[in-house]
A and B are shown apart, each in its own frame.
Chain A
Amino acid sequence: MLAYLVRRLTYGVGVVFGVLLFLFVLFFTVTSPDDVARKALGERVPPAVIEQWKANHGYDQPLFPGPGAWTENMLFEHYRRMLTFDFGRSDADDTPIAQRIRSGMMPSLTLTLPLFGLSLLTAIPLALLVAFFRETYIDRLGVVISVLAMSVSILLYIIGAQYVVGRLLHWFPISGFDSDPQLIVRFLALPLLVGVLAGIGGDVRFYRTVFLEESNTDYVRTARAKGCGEGRIMARHVFRNSLIPLLTRIILAIPFLFMGSLLLESFFGIPGLGAITVDAIQGNDFSVLRTMVYIGSLLFVFGQIVTDLSYGLVDPRVRLE
């Protein structure tokens, strides 16, 4: 168990190093610091100004290690900064990135956590219901509705909900955010509705497939043959076996809750990490973008390790060695 954990962690660290290398190639060699400076300052600025900008933003070292500069180069600096969570300042507006991330985390979580819970609470019971009525019209109808819901672009959900609920019915404010808990509920209602709607089709279909796969197994037939009722079979036999694929999907989704939702946040004016990322895209802010990618993969690697460990809890066949 301990040996497994150590091996798994080592591999995770390897993957994070791989991600950092990928980011370096992308953000330092394909687009050099000179390009970034020109994007920030304009095409026709004198080289001296560019050098000054690079010095201010900490891009003024050679890219690769060479004789006498084993640590004084961008590659080393890139790894050092990222691994010590010293993210520096934004390329666009000079604010400290770490501070922006800290301030964006809470608004993101206030949106994504309820969204995640609501999605699970609607999709899993619906999928169980549809799977319970397999090969009937309820099942077929459920699948068709799921596919219909999946085929609508999330953009249309956003526009549609905002127009119908916000403008025609005037139920909820169209966008905005507040730290007052009572107001938050009103501001979050619309993005939550859109988020649940946009995800439910794919979720129900996925969970239904998992449940159906389990209900077609031999041990379910055995349970029926010994006189088990369908409800008991679903709850005791099918659901417990479905936990294995379900956990993978659920645990792996948790890290991304911290990253927020790009579209929902930017559109509904929630100042979370998603909105910060969208600002970074619009402002050509490479430093913020690569920090977000890095944090995202850190969380993902962590989530994956937790998933692997959780297999040992739900599946007696898995031994963590």
Chain B
Amino acid sequence: MEAHIVSNAVVGVLLVGLAALVVGVRRSRLWSDAFREIWVRRRGAICVIALYLTVALLDSIAWVGGMADGKDAVARHQAQSLIDRLFVDSQERSYSAPLAAHEFYGGAPLERPGSHLLGTDLIGRDVFYLSLKGARVALLIGGLTSLLAIPLALLFGVPAGYFGGRLDDVVFFVMSTLASMPGLLLLIALIMVLGKSTLAICFALAVTGWVGFCRVARGETLKLRELEYVSAARALGVSESRILLRHILPNLMHLVIITFVLMFSGLVLSEAILSWLGIGVDGSWGQMIDQARNELSRDPVVWWNVAAAGAALFGLILSVNFVGDALRDTLDPRTIREAE
């Protein structure tokens, strides 16, 4: 199957999942109250995240054909996303400053003068276009990795905490082993061995990232196991798997959400570091910043590329961090203030 069809399908599935989540949250008094509070506290940050999400979604829906007969003949026969279609024929030959009419070095006239909001890069690509496309890459890295790491952590952490014994020993040993290797080095080693595809990088990030949450999930399960209603369920003869699914897992959901959000920003920042080391994901903001090493030493300086990528990265991470903070304050019982 063509890549863009898979991508469209994934977007569809994600949207359906999101809708189901919203319905679920609205049904539950506890969750809808919590989210209303976060909405009130972090309206701005949530709107910014929604903006990034929208851009990423628009860049994920792609199809072939339907392009006007432009200069770029190849593009007509490839799948083009909505974002791609907005920037058709925006290619120049080299650097140009934001909204400039001429090339930055040499001063040759541009194909489309004044149309490049954030200028163009070394090979003449529109920087605004590249920055928008980075949103999809960032969300893909954060989302895909979390989707791998969190279930993995639950799969190992919850049974280990619940059943204890030999199983717990094994899981705990595996966690100690993975945690003892320096995170960044392990990440690099995995990527070098597994290759530099997006999936491999996300997998490597997941392998290094799941241990932290696994430890939390295990600890919380240990606590929940001792609670009276779990003992009561066990005394009533409810099966172990049912207790795990009905009583333990739902009580870990708030930790899952907090972890997801807090992990997300860490992952996107890690990818930027990997890009810097030359093993990042293609098209990420990290790669744009990586290029800036040479651009800032040019004379006169090419600043718009790094500024655009840096601002885009900062905006996403900052809003996610703010929302993550609010989520932790609201959902984590340890910080809930006592009324009396």
Tell me the A residues contacting B by CB distance below 8 Å: 11, 14-16, 18-19, 22-23, 26-27, 30-31, 143, 147-148, 150-156, 159, 162-163, 167, 213, 256, 259, 262-263, 277-278, 281-282, 284, 286, 289-290, 292-293, 296-297, 300-301, 304
Contacts and interface: CB of A to CB of B under 8 A. Distances in A.
A148 B13 CA distance: 34
B22 interface: no
Contacts of B189: 23, 26-27, 289-290, 293
Interface in B120-150: none
Nearest to A261: B184
A33 to B, nearest CB: 13
B264 to A, nearest CB: 12
B177 A19 contact: yes
B78 interface: no
B314 A277 contact: no
A141 B286 CA distance: 29
A22 B175 CA distance: 12
Contacts of A18: 173-174, 176-177
A262 B193 CA distance: 19
Given A153-B314, A278-B277, A26 B182 contact: no
Contact of A293 (B182, B272, B279, B296): B182
16 contacts: A19-B181, A22-B177, A26-B189, A147-B321, A151-B265, A151-B317, A154-B273, A155-B286, A155-B290, A159-B296, A159-B306, A259-B185, A263-B273, A277-B188, A297-B182, A300-B180
Interface in B152-194: 173-174, 176-182, 184-186, 188-190, 192-194
B321 A151 contact: yes
B193 A27 contact: yes
B205 interface: no
Contacts of A147: 318, 321-322, 325
Contacts of A27: 189, 193
A73 B247 CA distance: 50
Nearest to A16: B180
A167 B276 CA distance: 21
Contacts, number: 118
B194 A30 contact: yes
A212 to B, nearest CB: 9
Nearest to B186: A293
B318 A151 contact: yes
A14 B173 contact: yes
A301 B276 contact: no
Please give me the 9 A-B residue pairs with the lowest Cβ-Cβ distance, nearest first: A18-B177, A296-B182, A151-B318, A297-B180, A151-B317, A300-B180, A297-B181, A153-B272, A31-B193
A312 to B, nearest CB: 20
B110 interface: no
B308 interface: no
B297 to A, nearest CB: 8
Nearest to A278: B277
A148 B318 contact: yes
Given A155-B273, A281-B279, A293-B186, 17 more contacts: A16-B180, A18-B176, A19-B181, A27-B189, A147-B322, A150-B321, A153-B289, A153-B310, A159-B292, A262-B273, A262-B277, A278-B277, A281-B192, A281-B278, A289-B188, A292-B185, A296-B181
B293 interface: yes
A224 B242 CA distance: 48
A140 B286 CA distance: 30
B192 A286 contact: yes
A284 B277 contact: no
Contacts of A278: 277
A208 to B, nearest CB: 12
Given A159-B293, A278-B277, A15 B177 contact: yes
B23 to A, nearest CB: 32
Contact of A155 (B177, B185, B289): B289
Contacts of A150: 321
Nearest to B177: A18
Contacts of B318: 147-148, 151
Contacts of A293: 181-182, 185-186, 189
Nearest to B325: A147
B269 interface: yes
B313 interface: yes
Which of A30, A151, A263, A281 neighbours the largest number of chain B CB atoms within 10 Å of its CB? A151
